[in-house]
Every structure is written in structure tokens, then in C-alpha cells.
Structure 1
Amino acid sequence: MSTAETLPVVRGKLTAKAPLAPLVWFKSGGPADWLFEPKDAGDLSDFLRDLDPAIPVMALGLGSNLIVRDGGFPGVVVRLGKTFAKVTVEDGQTLSCGGGASGILVSSTARDVGVGGLEFLRSIPGTVGGFVRMNGGAYGREVKDILIDADVVLRSGERRTLSLADLGYTYRHSELPEGAVVIGATFRGRPGEPAVIQAEMDRISASREASQPLRSKTGGSTFKNPDGHKAWQLVDEAGCRGFAVGGAQVSEKHTNFLINTGDATSADIEALGEEVRRRVKNKSGVDLQWEIQRVGKPE
């Protein structure tokens, strides 16, 4: 990995050997070679333009839906700060959102100005950049249903605006180029009454609280729902509820969630997921696919 002397000069903050475990929901995993918190979009663009193209780059939002392996990330992790967390109303039904804005902030801003259709973002524990990248969704809605376009900085440093079609969305997947960082997105909703929007957000919040292990160290939904199946049901039918590997366990509350019971390594969590996949395949013949992103190198 490059030394500080060979990295581009930045106006933001650049940290060597930065611990990532405190920044991810699982609270496990090794450090990043470098953590870059850009001052603004220009700082990010210049840095990526001048960075050795061989050095991997990964954007990190709130750290949900992510396993950082115990050997850490061999490259630069980009984390967007408050500069990228603004949400503004462009017109009656359109919101311009920074890549670092949370789903809660976006949905609450929409509610305040009477824009409906974005309530589901209240339930996605991540930032605009993360759920634009993976076509995040819940409660029957997906980002592709509300996205107009996304502003990105490519690995080359080039800034581009990508349309909905450019992103090639499928279930929990986009064609966003490797190393690209989403710095903003434009969403369109529909007219709605704030009180009705709030009631739907309350319903979603209560449903999550009742059914998901939100107070545990977890990574959100672990596996994608296969066509015609619910992942949690397949895991349950394979006898995996409560099953553990080391300090990692399949949640008793929701079997499509893995939890860190206290001292799990990322290797424990990933091994548990792979064993669940094996058991489901043996029981039902279905090949579960990871929804959680796994990055970095083993220890």
C-alpha cells in the first residue's frame, strides 16, 4: 500500500490504519489502510483522479449491510461527512439529497413538505449513497421507484450524473462502476398529507421494532429473497434459528439476520452465513445469495 508521501494532497481528513469496526453495525473487522473523509466533492474528485489506479476504493456509509473481514480493507475507504448530508426540496415533489444523508433524514424532510412515497426509506439503515448503490428497498418499494438520477464521482475522479436507466437496477443490485462514490441523488415522490405520511412511517417503524433485532450488533438482512421464497423462512425451515458459530448467531427474532453476540470475529459471521447457505441448499435445494456485502481480506 502507498505511503502518505505518495498519496494525493487532500483538504479533508486522511487517516492511516483507521479502525473500521466502530464504523460498521457488526462492530467487527480490521482497519482500512486509509480512511478519507473529503471536505467536499471537489476534494474527492481531485483525490481519486490523482490516486494510483491500482489502489482499491470503497465508499462507506452507516456501515449496515457490510462485513469487513478481519484483515481489513487494503485500500482507501471513503466516508462522506456533513457536507454530503443535506436534503433540499427542489419543487413540490422532488428532493435533492446528499450521498451522506440518512434514510431517516430524507423521509422526514419529505414528510415535512408533504411528499409521499418515500416513507420506506425510514426503514433502511443506511445513507443515500448506500441504498442508491444497492437499490435498497423495504415494504414493497425500492430506490428504483423514486430515483430520477444520481451524482457520482468515478474512480478516475470524473464527476457524472447517471440516470435511472444508467444504473441498470435489478433486485438489490446496480451497475454502478467499481470504485465509484455516490455523492448525491434526486428522488421524486407524490403529493401527500404530512399526518398520513407520518402514520405510515410510524407503522413501518413499529413493524421493524417488533420483527427485527434492531438493538443487536447486526448487519441487516443477510440474504436476498430468492424468487418465490422468503429467505427467513428457508433459513428457519433448515433448522438454523439460533444456530451459532463462535460469537456469531442466527437471530432468534428474525432468521434472516445474523448477530454478533459480543465477541464475534468477521470470520465467525461469514462462516455462519456460509453454513446457513449450505444447510438451506441441503434442505430445500435453494442457493441463497448474500445481500450483505463482504469486503477486505481474511486475517
Structure 2
Amino acid sequence: MTEYFVMKDASLKRYNTLRLDVKAALVVLPQSVEGMVAALRDFKDREIVIIGNGSNMMFDRDHYDENTVFIVTILLNDIELVNGEIVTEAGTRLNRLAWFACEQSLGGLEFCEDIPGTMGGALIMNAGQWQYAIGQYVKWVDVYNFETDAVERIIPDEDFFAYRHSKLTQMPVFILRAGLEAREGDYNEALEKMLYYRHERYVKQPRNFANAGSVFKRPKDKEGNSLYVWKMFDAVKLRGFQVGDAMVSEKHPGFIVNVGNATVADMHAVINECKKRVKDEYDVDLELEWRVIK
């Protein structure tokens, strides 16, 4: 059985939630965790970019040559309950994780239902919403360490995860799978919570256009108080600001959306204008929450 598929000169449009039509010379789809490790070893001489659901990311160019290989983890989506733990592969989407937990009458993971990402990306940025984050549930993480060329298991300590951050970002590793705490819950209560979370997001967020989630991290003023990006954007009249088909959402200005066939240049132009206006008005430097693929 082939451990992974290779596509050449492929479009990444279907693999990023901004739906940017970026071309890549090499795209690899592993069929299993073993295939993922094989691909990581076979392409270790290239720049490797991992794509899960393609959310929370954008590109820095329109074309990537053979020096960069994109490994897409959408086929690594096995999830099961083993010895009181939820074991899930890196490509498992978070909404599937939430529904799996609900179906097993497990509680605590309802917040994952409408986060548009995969387990691998969630672990890297400690994804969450409200008072919940994925790091609260992680028991272990299996990774491929490209310095030791070995599969290793990480047991996180209490400082491993922080707000929208984990120590995985400082380690020479690629995520393969993880084990999560399986907390006892109630099916009906879990279902009710998940439907409520989804409703709240659909009411407030621009689901009618392609987007990659919240664009900027919440900044702080000089006194350390949190500032709301959308309020600052409204004050400097950024709601609805548009370059080409890239636009600051009119529904929620914390999002930049693709209203048609936005280009990488369109997206960067809108981002730069947002940063400039906020800096000029508030002397605040906005920091991207998105991962930018150089």
C-alpha cells in the first residue's frame, strides 16, 4: 500500500480556508501516521509546510517551487477511545472530535465543535474559545523529531500550554497524534452546548465568505489592558475596507474575507492598511494570529 500520495504543480485552493489559488510544485497527502513519518523523512531536504484544515493561515507568495513541500494531513483523521483516553490523529478536525466526545457521553470538549482547525494546529496554538483551550485536556503528544529522526512521546507539564501558544512551537518536531483526557459527561448536555456555540459563532461571524478566522491577536495598551481589535477598526473606519476581493468583514471587522477571487497581494494590502491605521491612531502594533507561509 502506498504510504502517501504526491501531487505535482497543484493548486492549494481547496486546502486553505481563505480559498487563495496558490500553486505548489509538490503536495503530499499521507494515508497514515506511518506515511506521515515516511514523507517527513523522504522530503527532509526540503522546506516542509504542514497543512491541516488550512485555517488560520495565509501565503506570502503565489507560487512555491520544489524547494517547498506541502504535507496535507486531511487523511490522518482516526479517532478512538482507548483505556479512558481519546486518541486522535493530527489531521482530525476539531468539530469531529467534539461530536465523537458527545456520542461517547464525554464532556468538556464541546467548545471544539465550531473551531475550524485540526488537532495538529490546535496543539501548536493551544486553540480554544471562552475559558476553554485544548491544552487543558492533553495527556500526551506523539511527534516526529527531525533532529533525532525518531518518533517520541511528549508528556506536557503545567507550563507547556499558554494563551494561544504551546512549547511545541520551539521544538524540532512535527505532530502525529495525541491523547486527551476523557471526562465523564452527559450526551444531551454536550449536544445542547455544541449547538449553542455554533449558533453564537454563526450569528456573529462572516460565514458567508471564505476566511481564515480571527486575523489579529488581541493587543494590550501601555497599562496592560486588553484592547478590542474590532472597536479600533470601527474607529478608524476599516469596516468594509477592500482591496481587490479581499475585504475587512462588514459583519465582524475582526475578520478579513475573500469575497470572490482575492489574491495574496490583495490580502497583504488589506492587512498592511489595517496595521497602519491602528498604529497611526493608537500607537499599537497589531500582531497576526494567522500563520504566514513564507
TM-score normalized by structure 1? 0.88
| 1:99 has 2:90 as partner | yes
**1:72: how far off?**
2.9
Deviations 1:108-155 (A, max 9, x none): 111111211111111210111111111111122112212122112233
SS at match of 1:264: coil
Partner of 1:294: 292
Contact 1:118 1:189 in 2 (8 A): no
- Aligned pairs for 1:62-141 (under 5 A) are 62-74=53-65, 75-82=68-75, 84-92=76-84, 94-141=85-132
Alignment coverage as a number of residue pairs: 284
Percent identity, aligned pairs only, is 27
Give the distance between the partners of 1:39 and 1:219, measured in 2 at CA: 25
- Aligned pairs for 1:185-264 (under 5 A) are 185-227=178-220, 228-264=226-262
Partner of 2:8: 16
TM-score normalized by structure 2? 0.89
| 1:47 has 2:19 as partner | no
Contact 1:235 1:280 in 2 (8 A): yes
Deviations 1:171-215 (A, max 9, x none): 222332577432211112532211011111011000011000112
Distance change (3 Å), C-alpha of 1:184 and 1:264: same
Distance change (3 Å), C-alpha of 1:80 and 1:258: same
Aligned residue among 163, 179, 184 for 1:171? 163
**1:101: how far off?**
0.9
Contact 1:148 1:187 in 2 (8 A): yes
Deviations 1:250-289 (A, max 9, x none): 0011111101111210111122112101111222222111
Partner of 2:29: 37
SS at match of 2:99: helix
Give the distance between the partners of 2:44 and 2:52, measured in 1 at CA: 23
**1:29: how far off?**
4.2
SS at match of 2:166: coil
Partner of 2:154: 162
Aligned letter for 1:240?
L
Q: Structure 2 unaligned runs (5+)?
A: 221-225
Distance change (3 Å), C-alpha of 1:167 and 1:132: farther
Aligned letter for 2:49?
M
Contact 2:18 2:212 in 1 (8 A): yes
Higher strand share: 2
Distance change (3 Å), C-alpha of 1:47 and 1:23: closer
Distance change (3 Å), C-alpha of 1:56 and 1:237: same
Distance change (3 Å), C-alpha of 1:238 and 1:169: farther
Aligned residue among 266, 269, 284 for 2:267? 269
Alpha carbon RMSD of aligned pairs, Å? 2.0
Contact 1:97 1:128 in 2 (8 A): yes
Partner of 1:27: 19
Aligned letter for 2:277?
R
